[in-house]
Chain A
Amino acid sequence: MNPSPVFSEKIQRTITCIGAAVLVASVTLYLAFPVVALFFRTTPELFFSSLSNPDVISALFLSLFTSTISLGVVILVGTPFAYVHCRNDYPGKVIVDTLIDLPLVLPPAVAGLALLVLWGRMGILGQYLSLFGISIAFTTLAVIMAQIFVASPFYLRQAKSLFEQLDPVYEQTARTLGASPLRIFALITLPLTANGLVSGAVMTFGRALGEFGATIMFAGNLPGVTQTMPLAVYVGMEGNFTVGLTISILLVIISFAIMIAVRLLARREASNA
């Protein structure tokens, strides 16, 4: 490779640096500016005064409560599922693989409608449940089910790829030493993949926290019961703009706090390990 006679080595490297800087700057600004703009559209007084709005408080607690439960269910059920799915070859494995990714490409409103058509009291399964007096649509349970549906792929895909990429040497060694599969899973596999699983969990929590389309379709919009923060933002943005802004800012702060907390935790783990 003969260097071009026009560009000396030094000029090449300067241009590269500038190009790289422009790239990094534009991407960062494109992501950061809209978020920053939220903070500039309101004043601290307005923000703190609307924090005491009962709709804001109930939306906040409802969102955190439902997202935490959704995350818990996804982790508890999803981790063993991903492990079993990866370590075994069973008929229909390809189909299950595809189904795991399905909620990612399905528009959330479609997901909500589908859940309603299945579990609603006129639904294919729901009609039998309503015979027992169980109704799911328009309840907090519906919010959790909608969140689990749309957010689980984030965790499952992450867990799947982690378990697949894990060097089988560790598990095989443990097996030769006489450990049962359950012991291997708990004491070998999980600690080795913990970091990746946590990042998958963060993504899942974020997605569940921000879920809108499926929630409004399947669970409806009732303050205190099903009005999560994204719904409150949407309704507030059209009615009470300040309330909508306040909730948006709250969401940003919470998301940031979680991500930073997780990164700090991961860094501490890495330095302790």
Chain B
Amino acid sequence: MKRPLKNQNIIIGIVCGLLMLTALFAGCTSSPATQPVTPAVSTTAAPATPAPTPLPTPQAVSTTKAPVVIATTSTPAPVYTYSEGNVVAFTAASLKGVSPKLAADFAKMYPGHKVVFNLDGTQALRTQVMNGAYADVFISASNAYTTELTNGGYFVDGTVKPLTSNYVIVILPAKNPANIQSLADLAKPGVKIALGDKSVPVGTATIAAIGNLAKSTYGQNWNTSVMKNIVTYETSEPGVATKVALGEVDAGFVYESTYTASPKGTYTAITIPKVDNYLQTYTIGVMKQSTSKSAASNFENFMLSTIGQQDLKDYGFRPVS
């Protein structure tokens, strides 16, 4: 038994249907030409534009665990920026600890400028950018990903510069539940080790360091046993540090900067000899898609300046040789 529809129901039905259809098409086909920079002028229905990532105060940092796509279009569309002095910096997650200091010092050096960090594993940021996410500056923890982005034409020519470097270190929970005294103990049966996944820069650096150590000092059996002791491949470097801090694993391979910057007493550390270690070089570059290139260049200049480099040094990063 169908209910006879009244006039107002019909009209509501049509309006809803058209709204949905417009939302659908707007999401699929909007191009930079039609998508405005400010949300005030909107030619599409409200549900269409994805909520612009709210820009917090410079001191706030956002750590994303899942890929965040700021623009849903195939060509990068400008994200909501409220002034020319804003910089969106896609940054390797290992800079999480130093990022508030960098933000404060950047605003001091360039009054009127603000930086917002999107911190995540470099591999995640690379995937986001290649699928249309907006960034002014990209700080990469791996030359491999920097090369990939350069070859894809994502950087402004001449702006890709080495920024800083980092060695790999082994951290243990402060209480050292497995009583690990040396790198050799990492091969003891039952020891739980956390590592970065091979797609994460710190992961490849760790595997390389372990390989070097096996070749020079500890042997292939040690290598095999250590790999057998790995219980998790984390998707970002801070993830490894968290598992160690929680005490759920006996050891984790992270960057030296994470250990140096951590509050005293959180971790115990075992250093890896420099000759076997893997020196990770970070690079910084201005993105071609940036709509505030002058602000982006200012940020890159700040990061390479004495103040920026000193901030990084204070948090355990090493200067580029």
Residues of chain A having any CB pair with chain B under 8 Å: 1, 3-4, 7, 12-13, 15-16, 18-23, 25-27, 29-30, 33, 109, 116-117, 120-122, 137-138, 213, 216, 220-223, 226-227, 234-235, 237-241
Cα(A147)–Cα(B37), bound, Å: 42
Question: Quick check: is B85 within 8 A (CB to CB) of the other chain?
Answer: no
Closest to B120 in A: A238
- CB of A12 within 8 A of CB of B246, answer no
- CB of B10 within 8 A of CB of A16, answer yes
CB-CB under 8 A for A137 and B197, given A12-B10, A239-B123: no
- CB of A235 within 8 A of CB of B20, answer no
Closest to A237 in B: B127
Find chain A residues with CB under 8 A from B192 CB.
Answer: 138
Question: Quick check: is B17 within 8 A (CB to CB) of the other chain?
Answer: yes
Q: Which of B6, B18, B247 contacts A1 (CB 8 A)?
A: B6
Closest CB of chain B to A11's CB: distance in Å?
Answer: 10
Closest CB of chain A to B10's CB: distance in Å?
Answer: 5
Over the window 87-129 of chain B, the binary record of Cβ atoms lying under 8 Å from chain A Cβ atoms (1 yes, 0 no) is: 0000000000000000000000000000000000101101100
Within 8 A of A (CB), among B1-56: 5-7, 9-10, 13-14, 16-18, 20-21, 23-24, 28
- CB of B65 within 8 A of CB of A109, answer yes
- CB of B231 within 8 A of CB of A12, answer no
Question: Quick check: is B235 within 8 A (CB to CB) of the other chain?
Answer: yes
Find chain A residues with CB under 8 A from B18 CB.
Answer: 22
Max count, chain A CB within 10 A of own CB: residue among B177, B233, B234: B233
- CB of B20 within 8 A of CB of A27, answer yes
CB-CB under 8 A for A121 and B13, given A237-B127, A238-B123, A239-B197: no
CB-CB under 8 A for A19 and B24, given A1-B6, A238-B126, A239-B199: no
- CB of B10 within 8 A of CB of A22, answer no
Q: Beyond the given A29-B24, A220-B231, A238-B123, please list 9 additional residue pairs across the A-B interface where CB-CB is below 8 A.
A: A12-B10, A19-B13, A22-B20, A116-B246, A116-B248, A121-B247, A221-B233, A237-B127, A239-B199
Cα(A13)–Cα(B246), bound, Å: 64
Closest to B66 in A: A234
CB-CB under 8 A for A19 and B199, given A109-B65, A122-B247: no
- CB of A222 within 8 A of CB of B199, answer no
Q: Which of A16, A26, A235, A239 contacts B24 (CB 8 A)?
A: A26
Question: Quick check: is B59 within 8 A (CB to CB) of the other chain?
Answer: no
CB-CB under 8 A for A235 and B197, given A7-B7, A22-B21, A138-B231: yes
Name the prevailing secondary structure of the A interface residues.
Answer: helix
- CB of A12 within 8 A of CB of B24, answer no
Closest to B121 in A: A238
Closest CB of chain B to A196's CB: distance in Å?
Answer: 25
Closest to A212 in B: B66
Q: What are some 17 contacts across the A-B interface (CB < 8 A)? A: A13-B5, A19-B14, A20-B17, A25-B21, A30-B24, A120-B247, A121-B177, A137-B248, A220-B231, A222-B230, A222-B231, A235-B199, A237-B127, A238-B126, A238-B127, A238-B235, A239-B199
Cα(A121)–Cα(B199), bound, Å: 28
- CB of B14 within 8 A of CB of A120, answer no
Max count, chain B CB within 10 A of own CB: residue among A18, A138, A223: A138
- CB of A22 within 8 A of CB of B17, answer yes
- CB of A221 within 8 A of CB of B14, answer no
CB-CB under 8 A for A23 and B20, given A1-B6, A122-B248, A238-B121: yes
Closest to B175 in A: A122
Find chain A residues with CB under 8 A from B14 CB.
Answer: 15, 18-19, 22
Find chain B residues with CB under 8 A from A216 CB.
Answer: 235
- CB of A222 within 8 A of CB of B20, answer no
- CB of A15 within 8 A of CB of B10, answer yes
Question: Quick check: is B313 within 8 A (CB to CB) of the other chain?
Answer: no
Closest CB of chain A to B219's CB: distance in Å?
Answer: 24
CB-CB under 8 A for A26 and B20, given A235-B235, A238-B121, A238-B123: yes
Find chain B residues with CB under 8 A from A33 CB.
Answer: 28
Over the window 228-255 of chain B, the binary record of Cβ atoms lying under 8 Å from chain A Cβ atoms (1 yes, 0 no) is: 0011111100000001001111000000
- CB of A12 within 8 A of CB of B5, answer yes
Question: Quick check: is B288 within 8 A (CB to CB) of the other chain?
Answer: no
Closest to B18 in A: A22
Find chain A residues with CB under 8 A from B248 CB.
Answer: 116, 120-122, 137-138
- CB of B24 within 8 A of CB of A221, answer no
Over the window 158-198 of chain B, the binary record of Cβ atoms lying under 8 Å from chain A Cβ atoms (1 yes, 0 no) is: 00000000000000000001000000000000001010011
Question: Quick check: is B273 within 8 A (CB to CB) of the other chain?
Answer: no
Find chain A residues with CB under 8 A from B13 CB.
Answer: 16, 19-20, 23
Cα(A253)–Cα(B7), bound, Å: 43
Closest CB of chain B to A39's CB: distance in Å?
Answer: 17
Find chain A residues with CB under 8 A from B199 CB.
Answer: 235, 238-240
Cα(A22)–Cα(B17), bound, Å: 5
- CB of A12 within 8 A of CB of B20, answer no
Max count, chain B CB within 10 A of own CB: residue among A22, A213, A222, A241: A22
Cα(A84)–Cα(B233), bound, Å: 42
Find chain B residues with CB under 8 A from A239 CB.
Answer: 123, 197-199
Find chain A residues with CB under 8 A from B247 CB.
Answer: 120-122
Cα(A22)–Cα(B234), bound, Å: 45
Cα(A221)–Cα(B23), bound, Å: 37
CB-CB under 8 A for A23 and B16, given A16-B10, A116-B246, A238-B123: yes
